[in-house]
Amino acid sequence: MANAPVQNDRYSSLIYRIQNELKSRILNGDIRPGDKLPSEPELAQELGVSRNSLREAIGLLQKEGLLLKRHGVGNFVTEWRPIVRGGIEKLTGITEFIKAQGLKAESKITCFKVSRCEDGICERLDINIGDEVLLLETTKYASEVPVALCMDIIPKALVEDFDPSKIHNSVFEGLRVHYGIDIRYAECDLIPMLSDGELSEKLDVPVSTPLLLLEQLHYDFQSRRVLYSRSYFPSGRFTFKLIRRC
């Protein structure tokens, strides 16, 4: 038992050595943006390590945004280019953005609760202070890398027998199909900020990482205020394009 910590330290040291070797190849240009890494067996043999150790090191590089896993294809070098790109002129769910890039999209519920509405949010949703609201928090992944943290708040009076599993993959589609709420437009604010400890942990980024906060108030076809959302996007993993016309 006394040797276990030493073995764990050696294993961790090996993983970071592999990670640093691959990172050095990427940053030095030996492996260029868009290049596919060799297969795991081939790369493990070249580096003289086990496939398990290599896999963990590759996972760390994916979290850094240097590698991108394309499901069923392999790992590709991204360098510092964003993983997901999309326009914000059209109301589209984040998972749809991710799928449009040819990436594996995944949504995980990190929090769901019924709570009493606070003053500022009540004003936005045009409901009374203390009215019940549904708070749904989800993390969005692109090929296993967290690219967004979303907090959606819905007046409880608008839905009956609410089931978060029905909407967390696509809030717009879920509300329309299961609850008859057809969102047509939104007011949007883009706010630059830095991640605090809580956001950093949930998005798996260092503290003080630049984030883009997309704050939106959504309206249905009757111009009712039906959804207030705050979505946090780490710099380097998600970028937006806005087309402006005369």
CATH superfamily of 84-241: Chorismate lyase-like (3.40.1410.10)
pLDDT for 162 beyond 60: yes
Task: Please state the separation of Cα 84 from the chain's center in Å.
Answer: 10
**pLDDT at position 1, please?**
39
109 or 6, higher pLDDT? 109
Region of poorest pLDDT, from 102-106, 133-137, 199-203: 102-106
pLDDT above 90 (res 230): yes
Chain-wide mean pLDDT for the chain? 86
pLDDT of residue 213: 94
Residues 6+ apart with CB under 8 A from 199: 149, 211, 232
Q: Is the pLDDT of residue 4 over 60?
A: no
Q: Report which of residues 72 and 173 the model is more confident about.
A: 173
Residue 6's pLDDT is: 41
Count the helices and strands in the chain (H runs, E runs): 7, 10
Residue 181: is its pLDDT beyond 60? yes
What is the arithmetic mean of pLDDT over 215-237?
Answer: 92
240: confidence class by pLDDT, cuts 50, 70, 90: confident
pLDDT of 60: 83
Report domain 4-77's class.
Answer: mainly alpha
pLDDT, average across residues 203-210: 88
In this predicted structure, the answer to whether residue 84 has a pLDDT above a threshold of 70 is no
In the block, residue with structure tokens 């749904």: 136
Residue 237 and residue 65: Cα distance in Å, rounded? 7
Instruction: Note whether 81 and 33 are within 8 A (CB).
Output: yes
The confidence score (pLDDT) of residue 87 equals 64
At residue 23 the predicted structure's pLDDT band, cuts being 50, 70 and 90, is confident
For the chain, the domains span 4-77, 84-241
